[in-house]
Structure 1
Amino acid sequence: MAMTRAPLLLALLGVAALAGGANAAGRKMVGVYELSKGDFSIKVTNWGATLTSVVLPDSKGESRAPAPFLSCSLLLPSKDPWRACNGTAYFGALVGRVANRVANARFVLDGKAYHLYANDGKNALHGGKRGFSKVIWTVKEYVSGGDCPYITLYYHSFDGEEGFPGALDVYVTYRLSSPYELSIHMNATALDKATPVNLVNHAYWNLAGQGRGDILGDTVQLFASRYTPVDATLIPTGAVVPVAGTPYDFRRPTAVGARIRDVYAGKPGVYGYDTNFAVDGDAGAMRRVAVVRAGGGSGRGMELWANQPGVQFYTSNFLDGVKGKGGSVYGQYAALCLETQGFPDAVNHPNFPSQIVRPGGVYRHDMLFKFSF
């Protein structure tokens, strides 16, 4: 299907950017594309297939973006836009080839050892130094309005990229539907070799609106009766244990800040959740993952459904003076992330649900956000 509308280009980022590695096909334009359905809209950029804003009304009818997605404005004239805009927070980006952490940046598949780029101490994080969040994606289809506006983006990951085996064709579609629903559909086909795949959307949510305080008073309910404990470097131990009787029990709606000081975040003096929960029910089936209610006066709520075995609950423990949109400064606990996913470091834990995709096989990851106010 041809594009029905030219992209909304908020910035040319130096007119064009050069896609690196085997994915380079000359110069590709970086744009920002808006999807709109009445008073509900989102913006997406093909830089990292990144969701940059979500706007919908609150209980008073005021429209304000409920998420601080980007740490810089795309209007900044930067010669190095990928470094300036995404940094290490991955605001709103599509993360891969393997999201979350891989212990010692190494795994063995079919008897062969693979070595990844270590960008989180000795571990690999979110696909390495140049993961899917730091490349230019191709816009395949774009319908900006109507009953069901959507955009589909494509990226070809070459064999050996960041150390991962095999070529991979990756697609993501962002779609708006009624009433106030945002779906994200990710799929990836392994072309020639077996490879691990674990794609994540790394959106940061503040339902009160970006720049409207922290999320400690928000209530969260997770439909997960177990979680995966981690070591001091946030690598899973391999155990999957009950949440009952721990600070990780969100089976009933609970304020984010209620027990946050009881959770070590991986660095001395830093507290907060950065935890994978095992979602109840059958992996592969769409099921309810989480419900979030804003703690302030916006009246907004968000319900998340997905088909993945886990969800990473992250409370932005390491945000510290990050300059955001409209002059906002994002500090610790400014937002929360709910990243549906395969279990972290699954390639090194045979008891975890497998992330391996064989040649010709297709990885599928579906998310559905239902907003209310």
Structure 2
Amino acid sequence: MDERAEERLRARLIADAGRLGFSGVRITRADAIPAAKGRLDHFLAEGRHGTMAWMADTADRRGAPLTLWPAARSVVMLAMNYAPESDPLAILDQPAHGAISVYARHRDYHDVIKGKLKEMASRLAAASGADVKVFVDTAPVMEKPLAEAAGLGWQGKHTNLVSRELGSWLFLGSIFTSAELTPDAAESDHCGSCRACLDVCPTDAFPAPYQLDARRCISYLTIEHAGPIPHEFRKAIGNRIYGCDDCLAVCPWNKFAKVAREQKLQARADLDAPPLARLLALDDGAFRQLFSGSPIKRIGRTRFMRNVLIAAGNSNDASLVEPCRALLDDAEPLVRGAAVWALGELLDHRSLSALEATVEELDPSVRSEWAAALG
């Protein structure tokens, strides 16, 4: 491709990205992240992926984009801003309401971005004659190292991408192409001596700067982890019922983000601070209806109710005792066990012991919750 043709192609990519609501677009080579595989292997060897076995299963493809698609020569990386309009941590001072991660208050970003990427990729293929493939998060692609190599930002000490122009609130997507495109310059690290994201973490999920132990991360515990939440983290979770934004929200670079309103995604107002009492009453049908089109729907009612019950136990709100007690009869042991813990936090020992005497519970995991609560 000659220089003038590539200039026209780049101009089209930038125009298409802006028209479709992307906040940034950069290009890197498909072989631009040789160190990523080693970092991934260390993460996996330390067991920091927890129960996310799919990360180990796809490690070879995830660590080297050319293993995923050998024909790829360039990667077009795109960022979409989803910055909140107000302080996302203010909800933590309302313990009777659930704190939902900012990204999950929008329509599922996989659906939002993938369609836009396909449109851009189709136009890129038509203009260049090259082959293209699009990827959004669920594919074994390490978007953050690629975005750093492309110059969209850098991976901060919290391991998320940070941009001097867009802050920390970024959805990422990629277009792999067989076209040989001139890469943009990589972005350098601008974290300096700042430790805000490390120090704010409620569960100490960062063993060192630029390293994450997912097993201690509230986002992992409330979204990816399928079983009971370990007791050591339950109080620290507070009222976070889906994900955690603390490390993103305190990043100082957020204050420099200036994004046109038309480029911002619109969040659902009803998910800003939903009352726990309302959420505790959700049956499966109501759960599916409330979270239709939301990423929250993917974890299912059982896991979500576990999260809500942990938040209820941390609320110090006596009005939630009855909704929690009602869930002692839930069909799912995971929900019943979380209800026991919540009631153990909300009731005095005598009241809890009297309640336990009225319950016929045979599941060993739930019985262990009763033993711990009454112990």
TM-score, normalised via structure 2 length? 0.28
TM-score, normalised via structure 1 length? 0.28
Q: Which has the higher contact order (CA 8 A, sep 6+)?
A: 2
Rg bigger for which structure? 2
**Could you say which structure has the higher helix fraction?**
2
